[in-house]
Amino acid sequence: MGELDFTRSLAVVIGINQYQNGIAPLRTAVGDAEAIAQTLQNKHGYEVITLLDENAQADALRHLIQTTLPAQLSPNSRLLFYFAGHGIAQDGDHGPAGYLIPQNAAPGKVESYLPMVDLHDALTALPCRHFLAIFDCCFAGAFRWSSTRDISWVPDVIHQERYDRF
């Protein structure tokens, strides 16, 4: 089956440079997201949902994965999910529990983060034939542990030893 065999090609592209609540800004996430979105749309025929900076707040991300995407995808569609922004992980016995940091997250408040386990469960439940996720953030590798991890607390500080381990 080739590229034209998909009934829909949808991309979700998220880029966050400017965070609220004192979280350090990033320099290239939005520019990278814009370039990815343009390439997918212009050269590969994707429909693109783009959420940049203040449009990538926690409620918008949750609505996207819980409501918008399930309503827009069919069994013969494909989805590319791209996130560029901050990520954090917590150490555990079976690997890190990862979190994506929405634009309006509050440092140290886990409830304001987007758990990778929630994202993993929502995205893998979608009725699409092909799915590709790209995470341009720290601790992106925690996504592969998402289906086996329970959520618990996240430390305010990640020490160098923990960073080196991941």
The owner of tokens 């013969």 is 76
Beta carbons of 87 and 24 less than 8 angstroms apart = no
- pLDDT attached to residue 96: 63
Q: The tokens of 112 are what?
A: 């304001």
Dig out the tokens for 114 from the structure: 């987007």
How many CA atoms lie less than 13 Å away from 61 in the CB half-sphere?
28
pLDDT of 26 reads 92
Q: Walk along the chain (166 residues) and give the pLDDT tens digit of each residue.
A: 455 689 999 999 999 999 999 999 999 999 999 999 999 999 999 999 999 999 999 999 999 999 999 999 999 999 999 999 998 887 655 656 788 999 999 998 989 999 888 898 899 999 999 999 998 976 544 444 444 444 444 455 555 555 555 4
| pTM for this predicted structure | 0.81
Q: Read off the tokens for 165.
A: 């381990």
